[in-house]
Amino acid sequence: MKTLLSIISVLFFVACNDSLNVDTIQLPPENSKVVVTKLADSLGNVTMSLPTRYDTSFSWTHYSDCGKPCEKIKYRSQSKTLPITKESGWIWLGEPKDSIERFTIVHSGYFQFHNNVDTSFIFKVHEHRKADIIQNPDTYKIKSDTVEKIGDRYFSIIVVDLYDTANRQFSKKLLAATSIRGNGIEFNFELLTKQKDLATQKFIDNSMYFLRTIRLSNGK
């Protein structure tokens, strides 16, 4: 009888620990809020959690000299205490040299809808994205990459984690992408800082948590 009670006690203890571990995994890494972003031209809505300190949001069109097919529509969230920039192909003075922490949704300004292409399409996109990122001097080295199912669709996920020894500066990026009926949608978490603190160390892990909260409504 004592043996049976001991076994039951151990199982109860393990079950309690498992429940605590699951709850801990599900907790957000910091105070967060649910944000809904309406995408342009019937692409649908993006619903996700973001840190509450990302207290300012804005959108704009990143124009290009090669015309509408090269234009990008961007939706950005960040803290209003950090420099606010809007990339443009017309007049662009470059990124700030320090203190960037932001989340940006990006899609083309020109697209068409196609049926039954999203699942296979994203695996092909993933390989092209890796090649492009390696060629970019700001993201020349990929730390890790994968394709993961989040919600009802697959995401290409690429992590860039660099340290500039000359400027003593960290550059961390979680670059994700999926598609809505054949139209690519990017979700980019970016950090540029000289601060070597817990927030910098946890940036990629925390960004992965928020990425996994994304849910997309289907475009028309």
Mean pLDDT by 10 residues, the chain (220 residues): 42 38 64 95 92 96 77 95 83 69 93 77 92 92 96 96 94 95 92 95 98 86
d(CA 190, CA 173): 5
Considering the entire predicted model, what is its pTM? Answer: 0.84
- Which pLDDT does position 219 carry in this prediction? 62
Name the superfamily (CATH) of residues 30-216.
Mog1/PsbP, alpha/beta/alpha sandwich (3.40.1000.10)
Work out the number of other CB atoms within 10 angstroms of the CB of residue 172.
21
- Residue ranges per structural domain of the chain: 30-216
- H or E element, residue 42: none
d(CA 125, CA 29): 30
Asked if 32 contacts 23 with a C-beta cutoff of 8 angstroms, the reply is no
DSSP 152: T
Q: What is the largest CA-CA distance in the chain?
A: 81
- Which pLDDT does position 2 carry in this prediction? 45
Residue 211 CB contacts under 8 Å (≥ 6 apart), including other chains: 48, 150, 155, 157, 174, 176, 187, 189
- Which pLDDT does position 92 carry in this prediction? 56
DSSP 198: H
Residue 103 CB contacts under 8 Å (≥ 6 apart), including other chains: 50, 54, 76, 77, 78, 187, 188, 189, 190, 207, 210
Closest C-alpha among 167, 158, 56, 57 to residue 105? 57
